[in-house]
Structure formats: structure tokens, C-alpha cells
Amino acid sequence: MSEILLTGFEPFGGDPRNPSSEACSMLDGEVVAGHRVRALCLPTAFKVAALKLLRQMARQRPALVIATGLAVGRAEITPERFALNFADARIPDNRGRQPRAKVLVRGAPLAYASTLPVDRIVARLHAAGIPATPSLSAGAFVCNELFFRLRHATETTSLRVGFIHVPYASEHVVVRPGTPSLPLAMIAQALRLAVQTSLE
């Protein structure tokens, strides 16, 4: 059976949990639209995360790759439109690296568009009563870097790949009172629908 690769990140920035990897693991092993979902948790670290993802893709040869991460402060599920060839970290990553105003890949385009059907995903989530909106950019931290390297590596292929930022999970919000959040089960359902929509 062909496979879908779904990735999330380990906790970072002092937070004890990261809903992105937790929601992905909730889907691990599930069959969605005839494809087996495999979840992978990536280290929140520049370069290392992308290396691990690309290695897994070479082994697994998935039919679709959706990477996800936490965007603290966002209230909705946000499929990203563009990956930027740029890193500018406000905080160090989990290995202490903090690139400031750096080009990621010299000679590569300034940006790549997602090859996921971003607007159809958002419409599908709205139809399911899940708050969602397209986002222009994944920022300039590890999530954007992963998305950029993923797009760069697949530019000459027909593989659909993209990135979705998720809000804080309501189950974790006790750590950050007042932060916008969605229940983990809703985040997982959003990812399931995003996979389905991307395969249509």
C-alpha cells in the first residue's frame, strides 16, 4: 500500500509539548483514501530536521508529504502558501543554533509555492467547522527552513508537498493561559482532511 508521510516537531522554545507531532502520531498507521499514514517527529533544529525528513522520504517513497509545526498565537489551522529562502531566528533552535538574516540555499529561488491545494484544504476545513485560513509564509525559523528544503528537493518531481502550521492545543494551554488553541482531536481531524483533499 502506498504511504503518506506526515511530520510534526518536537517541543521547542521552553514549551513542554508540541501539538504538531502529537496530532500526527494520532494518525500514524491510519489508512486515508487508500494510503497508509506514517507519522515522523522531527527535531526542532536547523538542517537536522530537513536531513531526517529527506532521508525518510528516500527510504519510504511516500505519495504525499505534509509537514506540520506549531505556530504559537495563531488561532486557526494555517496551510502555508510559500516557503522562503531565508532564515532569521528570534530564538535559538533546540541545538543552540540561531541563524540571523541568512539565505538558506544560495542560487535557489527566493521562494517556492506549496504544491498542496491550499485553498481547497481551507474550504474543506471550513465545511467541517474547523477554523482555517491560508497563511502567506511559515516565518523564518525551523518550520520555514524545513518547508523550503523540502520544496527545493522536490522541485523537479511531481510529488505534492507542503506545510501546515497548527495552533496550540487546548489540552496544553494550561502552560500558556490565554493563548489561542484548538482541541488536539480537531487538529488531527484537520490533518486527516488535508491529506484527503491533497490526494483528490
**Binding region for ligand PCA (CB under 6 A):** 9, 12, 18, 20, 44, 69-71, 139, 141-143
Which of 80, 145, 152, 172 is an active site residue?
80
Q: Shortest Cβ distance from residue 50 to ligand PCA (Å)?
A: 12
Q: What angle do CA 137, 138, 142 make, to 5 degrees?
A: 145
80 carries an active-site annotation: yes
Between residues 69 and 99, which has the closer beta carbon with respect to ligand PCA? 69
Q: Shortest Cβ distance from residue 8 to ligand PCA (Å)?
A: 7
Q: What is the DSSP string of 64-77?
A: EEEEEEE-TT--SB
Q: How many CA atoms lie within 13 A of 15 on its CB side?
A: 24
Between residues 12 and 86, which has the closer beta carbon with respect to ligand PCA? 12
Q: Shortest Cβ distance from residue 11 to ligand PCA (Å)?
A: 8
H helix intervals, the chain: 19-27, 48-60, 118-127, 142-154, 184-199
Which of 35, 152, 165, 172 is an active site residue?
165
165 carries an active-site annotation: yes
What is the DSSP-derived secondary structure letter of residue 171? Answer: G
Between residues 7 and 115, which has the closer beta carbon with respect to ligand PCA? 7
Q: How many residues appear in the chain?
A: 200
Q: Shortest Cβ distance from residue 26 to ligand PCA (Å)?
A: 16
143 carries an active-site annotation: yes
Between residues 86 and 141, which has the closer beta carbon with respect to ligand PCA? 141
Cβ neighbours for 142, distance < 8 A, ≥ 6 positions apart: 9, 12, 44, 45, 46, 49, 69, 89, 93
Please give the positions annotated as active site. 80, 143, 165
